[in-house]
Each structure stands twice: as C-alpha cells, then as structure tokens.
C-alpha cells in the first residue's frame, strides 16, 4: 500500500517521518566501551598503521605513529582490543618484551609473514595511555596455558618483587599497568583451537579461576558465538561458575558476499539495501546472546555482551592483501545503524570493537607512508561521541520502508525459520546526559533517493532551548576518502533553530545526522 503524504509540523507536504522520544523512558546507560576498537598483528594494521619504529621521519612517540594516535584521541577511543583475533591464540607475550634486538621472530601462521615482536605489551599499553583508552588483552588459550596467562597478568598488574612484576620494572615501567579487561581466547570454536563449547567451558574455568584469584578487580570476557547452540552449551557448563564471567562476546561480520552486497566501492542500489537490511541478523544474535546470559545468570550476576569484533568484510579484503578494503559512505551508514542498535540494547551490550582500526577491514584510518586519512566510518565515531556515558532513551520511529523482506532473503541466508522485518528509511537513537542538560539524537536516513522531514516530539518534562546540528553525507553513497581526496566525506555543521518540545528537521538522503539539544525543564 502506498504511504500517505502527511503534513509535517513544518507544513511541508513531502513524506514525513515521526520520532517520539520518551525523556523519562530510560533503557540503559550507554557504555563508552561500545565505541571501542580492535588491532591485530594482521596485514598493515600494527606495522605500519600503529608502529613505525623510532628511526623514521614519520612523526612518532617511541615508535608509535602520532597521526593515528591523534585520530584516536579526537574520537575519545575508549578501549582497544589486542593482540587478536586469530593471532591471539598463537601469541606468546614473553616474545614481545625486553630489548627489541633480543625479541624472537615468529611465523604468523594466520596472516602470513614473520612477526618481529617489535610491538608487544609495553608498546600496546603505551599506545593506550597516549590515546586515553583502556587496554583489553586477549590471552592465548589455544596454544597457551593458564600459567602463561597468569604470568602476563602479573607482568601487567602486580607491584612487589615477584619475578614478572620485577621484569616490567626492569623494562622501564615502574608503575603497574592495571589492565582491567582480559579475554579468554578468541573464536575458540574456530581459529582459537576448534574447541567444542563444553571443552572450551572447561578451559575457561581453569583460566578464569586463576586469573580472578590473582586479581579480583579484572573483568573477563568469555568467547561466545553467533550460534545459539555454542552459547547455550557453554553457559550451561558454567552454570555453577557464573561469578567467573563478566562478558560473553560475539563476533559479527557482514561477510564477503559479492552477489548480495557487491564490492567495497562497486555495488548496485539493491546491494546497498541488502547490506543494511541484514543488520537485523546482528540484532537477532544480540537478542539471543542476551536471553541466554539472562537465563543462566539472572539474579546472580549481571553479565554483559561484548560484540568485540564487528564490521563489513568486503570481498576485496583477502589474506593476500592483508584484509585491506576501501570504506564508503555506505559502510558509514551501516556503522551508524549498528551503533544505534548497540544503544538500543545498552542495558546489556557493554562493549563493542569495530574491526579493525587501521588498514584492515572496516578501518577508521588508512595510512600510506607518512600520510593518514580518515574514512567515512571514522566520522561516525566522531559524531556519536556525545552519546558516551549518557542514558539511552526510548526512540520510536515511524518511517517509510525502503526494502521489504523477500523469499530470497530467507533462502540465501539459510535463515528459513526467522521472521524478517522490513528495512525502515529512518533509524534513530537518543540519549540524555545524567544531569538532564543535553539530549543527543542521532538519525540515519538510509533512503537512496528521498530527503525527509522528521517530526520530533519529546515526551514529558523538558523543552529545547537551543540546538546544534551536524551531519555526514555526500552526493554519492559510493563516495569514499582516499589519499588524493581525503575530505570527500566528512562532518558538516549547520545552524538550526529549534525550540520547545515539538519540532521538525529535514534530513538528506543517505545521511547520518546528529542533534545536540540543550534542555530546560
Ligand atoms: O578480524 C579478522 C579476523 O576475523 C580475526 O582475526 C578473527 O577473530 C575473525 O575471524
């Protein structure tokens, strides 16, 4: 049925959408860590995306490249996960400390080439300190041992005269690092050791028992899966050890599907919509993970969900090219919609790490020799920054649909038993800061051909005194930033005149938008 043309508050006669924000309907605190990052010894991510060494004319601090650090700082990057990924379960941390000339070269069995170990624990923590981010270390379960993980924790977090704590001091770091977040293996169902969920649960219990005993202040992330069966069987085996889990992780890639999604910069309108339509599968996985952890832990422990790898993995990113791909406005629109999803589930989604920060997959920065450019996805993180630490509010959207489910969706994705939802043009999230002074609204218009007037109603309590508006868009949804055109896609700020508790806002086709509204009661 064609949608009716309704008159917006503004009097405009175009198709308009409605957004209702319940100022007293609080759904959770937006954990800053949902805007987290991930770096791995893979392709050109760490060398030279993060680490350029000290003997170079690329501006660096102790070998860490300053332009990338500055980019991280400007988005307040809250947490960085390292050293992998698949790499984590073959990594022996002891190889990466001490005098660089004595560090062994190892084979990177996952991503090829040799690992020089120039970038190790001390360099990683230094990176995090320069950025202002929390370090998140993923320990080696697959080819490692609880003893090795305990020694790593001791190296990072202990004071005193125990041998690994002293080793850190001898390496020039007198203060403990106090690393709070520790992952117990990576994708243990796959590259992390091909475990089954019950065997992994046994390993998890060993690692977690000792690590938590050695330092009860740390938070542990268990390796979950986008398979109900894995999560159920793992959690069932941990039923009596719930106190050992702080987060259950899932990974979600919109994974190399040339036919359905097209390529990184070369895709049809239909493929653009297919990619965005499939965000609902990530929502399904989040809901499944939440209901499983709630079922096994309710009333005993509040376990969070960490989507500690996510992003678009285009067919152009191969092991041979170090998983390098370009990143268009389409990817940014996807990232914004995914962040809206994390905000919607902020009651339980407490961490997320886009894969990967530099030169790999859905990067926020791309480097070439001395130069660094920021991708459209980077600007989404900059735009969404004011949501960090705020209180997520119910945001109800009424919007035209841009893509209906089809039979092919069910067949091609082999998800025959799932109910699929139409893709709405407009997607939104809202949060208010704890003292109720500022309301942040982020709105994505996923339509390829229509601008919309959005009628926004704030329910109860407050009026808007003044507002700021910023958006990311471009004439073409296939636009991207490259070394010869670094500012093709970026944030543009525009004046808005907004007052009261009902107002209209016009947003452009294929755009990501943010309103910051100052409130008075
Ligand atoms: O991010 C690339 C790889 O994807 C990671 O190493 C692995 O965890 C995932 O499968």
Q: Whose CA is closest to 491, among 383, 390, 406?
A: 383
DSSP three-state, residue 434:
coil
Question: 394 with 27: CB under 8 angstroms?
Answer: yes
**Pairing of the two strands 391-398 and 426-432:** antiparallel
| Residue 91 in tokens | 């990594």
371 tagged catalytic: no
- Ligand 1: centre distance to CA 41 (Å): 11
Confidence of residue 15 (pLDDT cuts 50, 70, 90): confident
Residue 1 pLDDT > 60: no
| Residue 49 in tokens | 């995306």
Confidence of residue 452 (pLDDT cuts 50, 70, 90): very high
CATH topology of domain 31-388: TIM Barrel (3.20.20)
Nearest CA to ligand 1 atom 3: 85
Q: For position 58, what pLDDT does the model report?
A: 97
Instruction: Please state, in angstroms and rounded to a whole number, the distance separating the CA atoms of residues 303 and 292.
Output: 10
Q: Which residue of 43, 81, 86, 357 sits with most ligand 1 atoms within 8 Å of its CB, as the best mutation to test the pocket?
A: 86
Could you say which DSSP state residue 306 is in? E
Q: How far is CA 48 from the centre of its chain?
A: 22
- Of all residues in the chain, the percent with pLDDT exceeding 70 is 96
pLDDT, tens digit, 9 for 90 and up, residues 345-375: 999 999 999 999 999 999 999 999 999 999 9
Residue 6 pLDDT > 60: no
DSSP three-state, residue 215:
coil
**Pairing of the two strands 452-459 and 36-38:** unpaired
- Ligand 1: centre distance to CA 363 (Å): 14
Question: 323 with 238: CB under 8 angstroms?
Answer: no
Q: For position 60, what pLDDT does the model report?
A: 98
Residue 294 pLDDT > 70: yes
Instruction: Please state, in angstroms and rounded to a whole number, the distance separating the CA atoms of residues 61 and 48.
Output: 14
Could you say which DSSP state residue 12 is in? -
Confidence of residue 11 (pLDDT cuts 50, 70, 90): low
What phi and psi values does residue 380 have, to the nearest 5 degrees? -65, -45
| Residue 270 in tokens | 């239909």
If you average pLDDT over residues 168-197, what whole number do you get? 98
Handedness of CA 94, 100, 103, 107 (dihedral sign): positive
Nearest CA to ligand 1 atom 6: 85
Instruction: Please state, in angstroms and rounded to a whole number, the distance separating the CA atoms of residues 297 and 164.
Output: 35
Instruction: Please state, in angstroms and rounded to a whole number, the distance separating the CA atoms of residues 142 and 238.
Output: 19
Confidence of residue 521 (pLDDT cuts 50, 70, 90): confident
Instruction: Please state, in angstroms and rounded to a whole number, the distance separating the CA atoms of residues 316 and 255.
Output: 11
DSSP three-state, residue 462:
coil
Q: For position 414, what pLDDT does the model report?
A: 63
Instruction: Please state, in angstroms and rounded to a whole number, the distance separating the CA atoms of residues 449 and 508.
Output: 9
Confidence of residue 417 (pLDDT cuts 50, 70, 90): low
pLDDT, tens digit, 9 for 90 and up, residues 148-173: 999 999 999 999 999 999 999 999 99
- Of all residues in the chain, the percent with pLDDT exceeding 90 is 91
pLDDT, tens digit, 9 for 90 and up, residues 375-413: 999 999 999 999 999 999 999 999 999 999 998 887 766
Confidence of residue 13 (pLDDT cuts 50, 70, 90): low
- Ligand 1: centre distance to CA 120 (Å): 19
> What is the residue extent of each domain of the chain?
5-27+393-520, 31-388
Instruction: Please state, in angstroms and rounded to a whole number, the distance separating the CA atoms of residues 377 and 480.
Output: 10
Other C-beta atoms closer than 10 Å to the C-beta of 407 total: 8
If you average pLDDT over residues 420-449, what whole number do you get? 96
Q: For position 418, what pLDDT does the model report?
A: 74
pLDDT, tens digit, 9 for 90 and up, residues 239-277: 999 999 999 999 999 999 999 999 999 999 999 999 999
- Ligand 1: centre distance to CA 85 (Å): 5
Which residue is listed with tokens 């004011």?
386
148 tagged catalytic: no
Atom of ligand 1 nearest to the CA of 38: 1
Choice between 158 and 463, residue whose per-residue pLDDT is larger? 158
Nearest CA to ligand 1 atom 2: 85
Average predicted confidence (pLDDT) for the chain: 95
Selecting among 40, 134, 148, 187, the annotated active-site residue is 187
Residue 427 C-beta-side C-alpha neighbours within 13 Å: 26
Q: Whose CA is closest to 330, among 488, 486, 478, 512?
A: 478
Instruction: Please state, in angstroms and rounded to a whole number, the distance separating the CA atoms of residues 344 and 290.
Output: 13
Nearest CA to ligand 1 atom 4: 85
The model carries a pTM of 0.97
CB-defined site of ligand 1, < 6 Å? 40, 84-86, 186-187, 251, 309, 355-356, 361
CATH topology of domain 5-27+393-520: Immunoglobulin-like (2.60.40)
Cα three-residue angle 205-120-173, rounded to 5 degrees: 95
Q: Whose CA is closest to 439, among 450, 447, 449, 431?
A: 431
Q: For position 4, what pLDDT does the model report?
A: 38
- Ligand 1: centre distance to CA 137 (Å): 15
DSSP string over 310-365: EEEE-TT--TTTTT----BHHHHHHHHHHHHHHHHTTTTEEEEEEE-SBSSSS-SE
If you average pLDDT over residues 212-229, what whole number do you get? 96
Residue 185 C-beta-side C-alpha neighbours within 13 Å: 31
| Residue 124 in tokens | 């990683």
Instruction: Please state, in angstroms and rounded to a whole number, the distance separating the CA atoms of residues 3 and 11.
Output: 18
Nearest CA to ligand 1 atom 8: 85
Residue 3 pLDDT > 90: no
Least confident residue range of 1-15, 310-324, 383-397: 1-15
């Amino acid at each position: 049925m064609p949608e009716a043309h309704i008159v917006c508050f503004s009097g405009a006669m175009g198709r308009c959408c409605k957004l209702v924000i319940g100022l007293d309907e609080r759904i959770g605190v937006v954990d800053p860590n949902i805007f987290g990052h991930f770096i791995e010894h893979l392709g050109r991510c760490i060398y030279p995306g993060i680490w350029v060494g000290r003997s170079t004319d690329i501006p660096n601090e102790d070998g860490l490249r300053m332009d990338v650090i500055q980019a991280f700082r400007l988005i307040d990057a809250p947490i960085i996960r390292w050293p992998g990924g698949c790499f984590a379960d073959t990594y022996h941390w002891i190889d990466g400390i001490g005098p660089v000339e004595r560090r062994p070269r190892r084979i990177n069995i996952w991503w090829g080439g040799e690992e020089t170990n120039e970038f190790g624990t001390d360099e990683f923590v230094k990176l995090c300190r320069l950025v202002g981010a929390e370090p998140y270390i993923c320990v080696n379960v697959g080819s490692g041992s609880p003893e090795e993980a305990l020694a790593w924790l001791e190296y990072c977090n202990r004071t005193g005269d125990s041998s690994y704590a002293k080793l850190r001091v001898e390496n020039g770091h007198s203060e403990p690092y106090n690393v709070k977040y520790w992952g117990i293996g990576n994708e243990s169902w796959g590259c992390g050791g091909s475990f089954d969920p019950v065997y992994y649960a046994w390993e998890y219990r060993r690692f977690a028992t000792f690590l938590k005993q050695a330092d009860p202040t740390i938070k542990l992330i268990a390796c979950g899966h986008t398979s109900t069966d894995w999560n159920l069987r793992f959690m069932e085996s941990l039923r009596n050890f719930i106190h050992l889990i702080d987060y259950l992780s899932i990974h979600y890639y919109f994974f190399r599907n040339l036919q359905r999604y097209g390529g990184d910069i070369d895709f049809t309108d239909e493929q653009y919509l297919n990619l965005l339509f499939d965000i609902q599968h990530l929502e399904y996985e989040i809901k499944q993970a939440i209901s499983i952890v709630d079922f096994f832990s309710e009333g005993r422990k509040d376990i969070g969900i960490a989507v500690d790898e996510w992003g678009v993995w285009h067919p152009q990113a191969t092991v041979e090219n170090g998983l390098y791909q370009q990143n268009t406005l389409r990817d940014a629109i996807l990232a914004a919609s995914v962040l809206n999803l994390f905000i919607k589930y902020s009651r339980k989604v407490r961490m997320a790490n886009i894969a990967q920060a530099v030169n790999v997959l859905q990067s926020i920065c791309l480097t070439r020799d001395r130069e660094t450019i920021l991708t459209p996805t980077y600007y989404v993180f900059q735009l969404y920054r004011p949501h960090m630490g705020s209180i997520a509010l119910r945001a109800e959207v009424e919007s035209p649909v841009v893509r209906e489910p089809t039979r092919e969706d069910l067949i091609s994705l082999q998800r025959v038993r799932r109910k699929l939802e139409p893709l709405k043009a407009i997607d939104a999230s809202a949060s208010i800061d704890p003292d109720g002074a500022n309301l942040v609204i982020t709105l994505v218009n996923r339509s390829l051909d229509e601008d919309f007037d959005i009628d926004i109603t704030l329910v109860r309590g407050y009026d808007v005194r003044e507002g700021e508006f910023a958006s990311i868009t471009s004439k073409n949804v296939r636009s991207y930033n490259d070394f010869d055109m670094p500012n093709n896609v970026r944030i543009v700020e525009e004046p808005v005149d907004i007052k009261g508790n009902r107002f209209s806002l016009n947003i452009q086709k294929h755009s990501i938008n943010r309103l910051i509204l100052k409130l008075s009661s």
